[in-house]
Chains A and B, each alone.
Chain A
Amino acid sequence: MKDFQWRRFKKWWLIFPPYAWLILFFAVPFLIILKISFSEAAIAQPPYTAIFEYANEKLVINLNFGNYLWLFTDTLYLNAYLSSLKIAAISTTLCLAIGYPIAYGIARMQGSIQNLCLMLIILPSWTSFLIRIYAWMGILRNNGIINNVLISLGFVDEPIRLLNTEFAVYIGIVYTYLPFMVLPLYANLVKLDSRLLEASADLGAGPIRSFFSITLPLSRGGIIAGSMLVFIPAVGEFVIPELLGGAEILMIGKVLWGEFFGNRDWPVASAVATIMLLLLLIPIALFHRYQFRELEEKS
């Protein structure tokens, strides 16, 4: 009995540091966001009013729903949420369409060439993300490489606007997040038992039918994980729409940034973040279910 308790104690000694860290610096901050989203902006340090006040033996709770009402009355926020979801969904689809054949191709390769191709896919994500977005600014500009080539070939007379468009944002997101799509897909496809495909071919299915009835359903886990790894961060993306999308492209990450750094309205920024988190709850749960199962399954 004593030994049993001692072992439990040692186990908790192992669990405690990462658990405590994550609760304090990851879970608790969300509760604070939720709290601040119900306070009012004020010219003070910090710039919001207190929710709980205790004076004269009375506890006064000032819950302000104004921030949320404001988000629903001003169409700017609604449009920003919708446009973020749309841009993230389209980018995820594009990533999947480009990433699936790449992952499939690499999974079919052998030995050192497979490792090399895999490394070439991951490598860009080890270099600075900001720098890679910056590279696209130079390419898509009115006097950038694409326009210069198009003009010198005589396809267009004057430069077409590529930078500061939705198109540029799609390019930026696909470019940045493609490795995050390819990796889980690859990890999934490489485990695919090729005998299943042989069996299906023996039974008379063509390669297309085999793909849709065997390969695709079996790679569902990889598709979900990859898509969520692209979709969720893309919804809240700030740098890409800011640098490639220009002023007209509305995304909620940019709105949040503006509320916080521009307007210094912390409560509205918190309300924006809370709603964003609510919208992402289902995708995050989906991702977590897959990822956690993967971690547990292996061990």
Chain B
Amino acid sequence: MANVSKFTKIVLGFGFFFLYAPMLVLIIYSFNSSERVNIWADFSFKWYVELFRDDAIMSAVWVSLKLAFFSASAAVILGTLAALVLARAGKFTGKTVFGSLVTAPLVMPEVITGLSLLLLFVAMVNSFGWPQERGFLTIWIAHVTFCMAYVTVVVSSRLAEMDRSLEEAAMDLGANKIKTFIFITLPIILPALVSGWLLAFTLSLDDLVIASFVSGPSSTTLPMIVFSSVRLGLSPKINALATIMILTVLTAAFAAYYISSREERTRRQGELINED
């Protein structure tokens, strides 16, 4: 910290306050018993009880979790393949096009992605009768498409950092490409696959705009419910839901941070012992 100036500390402090204060306010007011969200009455768990009694919200939570799980899993497979292609396949015809198709979904405004996919699904029904009904499947396709771009970026940077001499050594020792991939490359990039999966999971869980375009009447995701109730004003039940979501993410993130920093420490200690 010695070379961090006072100015930087102030900016960082202000930045973290700006990022976290709104969430803190949300959490505090979720324990407020008053119906009027901004007037503090009493500490209570009332809104949590109401939240769990709300069938519409609970079934939307289930739909969204399932969707996020399947979207993240498919996105990791396709995104990893795309990253491998970019990093290992060398030059091939159409590589530039492939590169732009991989990176463009990262910045594409959601309204455009949503509308374009909906029109595709409608055109597909008209020409060969599939998908008959828009719902879980169409949202899944949409989510896989934009999530895989994020996975590709995460996995690509891990692939770039990795020591390629390990792969070469395995091949020199007689392993074929598939064996080398399974026993050498995959374990090394595994942390990137895990963080890519988690990132895709949260992105899918959070998406409102794209899902609104491509969903049908039968499948309502959690963000859709939150959006329609928030549009009408503040709702203490949403505060309770938000608190659960924020605390889950915070706990998971700090657990991951703790585990990885402890691993790092043991590794460093191991290196020191080896040096002796």
Main secondary structure of the interface of A (DSSP, over half): helix
Does A86 sit at the interface, judged by CB under 8 A? no
Does A81 sit at the interface, judged by CB under 8 A? no
Does A119 sit at the interface, judged by CB under 8 A? yes
Show 7 residue pairs from A and B whose CB-CB distance is below 8 angstroms, ordered by the A residue: A21-B144, A33-B119, A46-B122, A109-B4, A128-B223, A128-B226, A288-B99
B253 engages A299 (CB within 8 Å): no
B206 engages A128 (CB within 8 Å): yes
Could you say which residues of chain A place their CB within 8 Å of the CB of B159?
298-299
Q: A11-B89, A25-B144, A283-B107 are in contact. List 16 more A-B contacts (CB 8 A).
A: A22-B82, A23-B101, A33-B116, A109-B1, A130-B230, A131-B226, A175-B22, A236-B110, A237-B109, A253-B109, A253-B111, A257-B111, A287-B106, A292-B96, A295-B153, A298-B156
Q: State A180–B11 Cα separation when bound (angstroms).
A: 17
Main secondary structure of the interface of B (DSSP, over half): helix
Minimum distance in angstroms from A207 CB to a CB of chain B: 9
Residue of B nearest to A277 (CB): B112
B86 engages A134 (CB within 8 Å): no
Q: State A79–B39 Cα separation when bound (angstroms).
A: 39
Q: State A217–B110 Cα separation when bound (angstroms).
A: 32
Q: Which of A99-145 contact B (CB under 8 A)?
A: 101-102, 104-106, 108-110, 112-113, 115-117, 119-121, 123-124, 126-132, 134-139, 141, 143-145
Q: Which of A15-70 contact B (CB under 8 A)?
A: 15, 17-19, 21-23, 25-30, 32-33, 36, 46
Does A169 sit at the interface, judged by CB under 8 A? no
Does B196 sit at the interface, judged by CB under 8 A? no
Residue of A nearest to B234 (CB): A138
Does A203 sit at the interface, judged by CB under 8 A? no
Does A178 sit at the interface, judged by CB under 8 A? yes
Q: Mark B244-267, 1 if CB is under 8 A from A, else 0.
A: 011001100100010001000000
Cβ-neighbour of B111 out of A115, A273, A295 (below 8 A): A273
Q: With A132-B23, A299-B160 in contact, do A32 and B119 touch (Cβ < 8 Å)?
A: yes
Q: With A22-B145, A138-B38 in contact, do A102 and B25 touch (Cβ < 8 Å)?
A: no
Q: State A98–B10 Cα separation when bound (angstroms).
A: 12
Q: Which of A211-259 contact B (CB under 8 A)?
A: 228-229, 232-233, 235-239, 242-243, 253, 256-257
Q: Which 10 A-B pairs have the closest CB atoms?
A: A236-B109, A298-B160, A29-B116, A105-B8, A135-B22, A18-B82, A299-B87, A232-B107, A22-B101, A29-B120
Q: State A15–B91 Cα separation when bound (angstroms).
A: 12
A102 engages B38 (CB within 8 Å): no
Does A71 sit at the interface, judged by CB under 8 A? no
Which residues on B are within 8 Å of A, measured CB to CB?
Answer: 1, 3-4, 7-9, 11-12, 15-16, 18-20, 22-23, 25-26, 29, 37-39, 78-79, 81-82, 84-89, 92, 94, 96, 98-113, 115-117, 119-120, 122-123, 126, 141-142, 144-145, 148, 152-153, 156-157, 159-161, 177, 198-199, 202, 205-206, 208-209, 212-213, 223, 226-227, 230-231, 234, 238, 241-242, 245-246, 249-250, 253, 257, 261
Which residues on A are within 8 Å of B, measured CB to CB?
Answer: 10-11, 14-15, 17-19, 21-23, 25-30, 32-33, 36, 46, 98, 101-102, 104-106, 108-110, 112-113, 115-117, 119-121, 123-124, 126-132, 134-139, 141, 143-145, 148, 175, 178, 228-229, 232-233, 235-239, 242-243, 253, 256-257, 260-261, 266, 269-270, 273, 276-277, 280, 283-284, 287-288, 291-292, 295-296, 298-299
B99 engages A295 (CB within 8 Å): yes
Minimum distance in angstroms from A236 CB to a CB of chain B: 2
